[in-house]
Amino acid sequence: ETGVTQTPRHLVMGMTNKKSLKCEQHLGHNAMYWYKQSAKKPLELMFVYSLEERVENNSVPSRFSPECPNSSHLFLHLHTLQPEDSALYLCASSQGGRGYGYTFGSGTRLTVV
Amino acid sequence: RKEVEQDPGPFNVPEGATVAFNCTYSNSASQSFFWYRQDCRKEPKLLMSVYSSGNEDGRFTAQLNRASQYISLLIRDSKLSDSATYLCVVNLQRDSGAGSYQLTFGKGTKLSVIP
């Protein structure tokens, strides 16, 4: 059982839909992340939130919009996505500036049709 | 040059074999190094950290060579349950005071241990 919970596990959406991915961490961490994992590519960092402030946005298209209402919750709002956005979206959390204790959620497998 | 580069794989080895994975990283300012394991259709999980002095955890040994910017993972006496993708991960710890950091992942090397 992971301390980082993501919902939904699977999502199929049309290009004109609006949906949101949700992440919740129960570990008391102070940083949360969104990563994208596409086939045959390394994990790509999308957004970093530290203490509820966005500290990193790795040139992600505006059709992806993150929201971090508190240190335990992270959302990724999706709208007008493209088929190439189909991927596994992973949330992670960590405590402080150390490489240890970086915990991933199980991910949301997104298919855009 | 890719930031973190790994053996292309896949590696198909018999049970009991010893297998070694290699990884190079491009940023000499990198501070922390890790191996993560990712099972099929699951999230990555930390396998072990990598230290300059080398470290061992049971059948797994990790080595770091900062001068060559090279990291390795050795698995001895492979088990069927070792079948997974092994991700080399590097941390460029930022002195931002924000209390967060980024991990840079390699593409991973797939290992299949065959009975």
Contacts of B34 (CB under 8 A, 6+ apart): A99, B46, B47, B48, B49, B50, B88, B89, B90, B91, B103
Helix-then-strand count for chain B, H and E: 0, 11
Residue B27 is predicted with a pLDDT of 86
Query: Which of B32, B100, B110 to mutate: most A Cβ within 10 Å?
Result: B100
**Residue of A45, A49, A100 lying closest to B102 (CB–CB):** A45
Decide if A100 and B42 are in contact by the 8 Å CB cutoff: no
Closest to A64 (Cα-Cα) out of A45, A82, A48, A79: A79
Decide if B98 and A41 are in contact by the 8 Å CB cutoff: no
Res. A11 pLDDT band, cuts 50 70 90: very high
Shortest alpha-carbon distance between residue B114 and chain A (Å): 23
Residue B114 is predicted with a pLDDT of 96
Res. B99 pLDDT band, cuts 50 70 90: very low
Per-residue pLDDT tens digits for B44-97: 999 998 988 889 999 999 999 999 999 999 999 999 999 999 999 988 765 444
pLDDT above 90 covers a percentage of chain B that reads 69
Asked if A91 has any chain B CB less than 8 Å from its own CB, the reply is no
Interval B28-53 mean pLDDT: 89
Shortest alpha-carbon distance between residue A31 and chain B (Å): 6
List, as ranges, residues 52-71 from A with C-beta within 8 Å of B. Answer: 53, 55-56
Q: Using CA atoms, how far apart are residues A93 and B92, in angstroms rounded to an integer?
A: 17
Q: What is the mean pLDDT of chain B?
A: 89
Per-residue pLDDT tens digits for A59-89: 899 999 999 999 899 999 999 999 999 999 9
- The H-or-E segment that residue A13 falls in is strand A10-13
Decide if B107 and A55 are in contact by the 8 Å CB cutoff: no
Asked if A31 has any chain B CB less than 8 Å from its own CB, the reply is yes
Count CB pairs under 8 A between chains A and B. Answer: 73
Res. B1 pLDDT band, cuts 50 70 90: low
Answer whether residue B28 shows pLDDT above 90: no
Residue B97 is predicted with a pLDDT of 46
Length, in residues, of chain A:
113
Per-residue pLDDT tens digits for B15-26: 999 999 999 999
Find chain A residues with C-beta within 8 A of B100's C-beta: 30-31, 48-50, 55-56, 94, 96-97
